[in-house]
Structures are given as structure tokens and as C-alpha cells.
Structure 1
Amino acid sequence: MAGLSGSLERAVMDVLWSAPRALRVRELLETLNDGARKPLAYNTVQTVAERLVGKGMIERTPDGLAFRYAPKRGREDYAVDLMLGALTEYDDHGAVLTRFAESVAPEDAQQLLEALRRRASGKEVT
């Protein structure tokens, strides 16, 4: 999965990840512009949405003469893809994983340890 490039792509994805349903460009625009210092143009948001479709991040479905946009995967799955992508860039996965485990906050390390224990024992990780 391609990564997000730029704050506007991230903002559009954040809106879509938080939305209870697929959104039209007009709905995306309203949410993005709510409280914005400099409002975005409709065409700008539409272009970004189409770029995200091309990257495989979101899907579009016809809705009358327009389209609705929704994320293909959740925020957590996207973060996992980024982390796994970074891990595969290095031959020594053990060193990278060790450094990562040493760098996270203690409560996150504990959660990671518990998830690894469940996985090692064959229990489902949620």
C-alpha cells in the first residue's frame, strides 16, 4: 500500500477513518473546512481523493452523479503496513525490532509483550 504524501492526504484519510459511512467530496470538504483558517476548494479535495483512490488507500462507489469515498483499510492496518514496510527495508530484523521495543513507552512495551505471548501460545491477538 502506498504511503500518504502530505498533510492534506493525511487530513482526508483522518476524516474518512472517523466517518461512520462513505462520504461525498462535498461532505469531506465541509468537514475539512470546519474551523479552517484557509478553506480548501472543492476541486482540491476531489483531486486528493482521486489520488488516494489511485494509491489504493480509498475506494469510490457511484452515488447518483457523484461518488462516495471510503477507506479500504482501517487506520490501524495502515499503521501496521507502514511498520512492516520499514522493517523489511533492513536485513537485520532482530536489531530493528529490539531497538523499536526499547524505544516505545513502557505501557506500549507491556501491551506488545502481551500480544506476542498470546500469539506464541496460539491465542488470537485482538
Structure 2
Amino acid sequence: MAGLGGSLERSIMEALWAAPGPLRVRELLDGLNEKAAKPLAYNTVQTVTERLAQKGMLRRTPDGQAFRYSPTQAREEYAARLMLDALTDAPDHGAILARFAESVPAEDARHLLDALRRRAAGGGPGA
């Protein structure tokens, strides 16, 4: 799975995950520039957005003479896939999972434990 290569890719994805619907590059640029110390150029955002579409991270939908862009997966799905990719590359899954569980804040550990209990009871993905 392709990952996010740089801070602008991450910023674009975060903006699109937070958006109520697909955005044109101009709308995306306006939102990014509201928070930027140095304004971004339209062509820069368009190029990076196209790169994300080629990676399969964004879907582009024609809208007149332009395109609207939206994420192909939710933020949570993306993060879970990154975690699974990292786990797949390691020889000792148990040690990594244990270290992860010990490293997360207590509230997150409770969420993880609840999800594992649901899965074990036959109510979660892959059950």
C-alpha cells in the first residue's frame, strides 16, 4: 500500500478527511493556505493531489472543467492498513503487538481490548 510521502501529502489528506464532501483543488488550496505560514501555489497542490490520486489515495470526479477529490478510504482505515503493513514486515508479531498495547494510553488500551473482545465473540471484522 502506498503511504503518504511528505507533509503536504499529509496536509491534503487531513483536509480531505475533514471536509464534508469532495473538494476542487481551489477549495483545497484556500483551506490549506488559511493555516500556512507561506502560501502554497495552485500548481503545487494540483500536482500533489494528482500524485495522491495515482497512488490510489484519492478519487477524482469530473466537475465541469475541473475535478473534485475525495479520499478512497477513511482515515481510520488508512491508519489500520499502515499498522498492518508494519506488522506484516516483522518476524515476531506477538512481541510487536505486546509492545504496541503497552505503549498506548490507558483509554486507547481499553478501546483495543473492547474491540478484541468483540472480535473474539464473533462480532468483529475477520471473525
What TM-score bracket applies, with the shorter chain setting the length? over 0.9
CA offsets per residue over residues 79-119 of structure 1, 9 Å max, x none? 00110011001121111111111111111111111110111
Instruction: Tell me the residue number matched to 1:116.
Output: 116
Q: Output the amino acid matched with 1:40.
A: L
Instruction: Kindly provide the amino acid, as one letter, of the partner of residue 33 in structure 2.
Output: N
Distance 1:29 1:106 in 2: 38
Task: From the superposition, tell whether residues 47 and 116 of structure 1 become closer, same or farther in structure 2 (CA, over 3 Å).
Answer: same
Partner of 1:67 in structure 2? 67
Deviation at 1:37, TM superposition (A): 1.9
How far apart in 1 are the matches of 2:7 and 2:106? 29
In structure 1, runs of 5+ residues without a counterpart are: none
Does the alignment pair 1:17 with 2:51?
Answer: no
| Matched position secondary structure for 1:59 | strand
Give the secondary structure class of the aligned counterpart of 2:109. Answer: helix
Give, in whole Å, the separation in 2 of the partners of 1:43 and 1:95. Answer: 45
Question: Which residue number in structure 2 is paired with residue 48 of structure 1?
Answer: 48
- TM-score of the pair, normalised by structure 1: 0.95
- Specify the alignment match of 1:90 in structure 2: 90
Percent of residue pairs identical: 67
Secondary structure at the counterpart of residue 67 of structure 1? strand
Report the TM-score, using the length of structure 2 for normalisation.
Answer: 0.94
Instruction: Give 1:70 shift.
Output: 0.4
* Pairwise CA RMSD: 1.1
Alpha-carbon separation, structure 2, partners of 1:110 and 1:35 = 34
1:32-43 to structure 2, matched below 5 A, reads 32-43=32-43
* Number of residue-to-residue matches in the alignment: 125
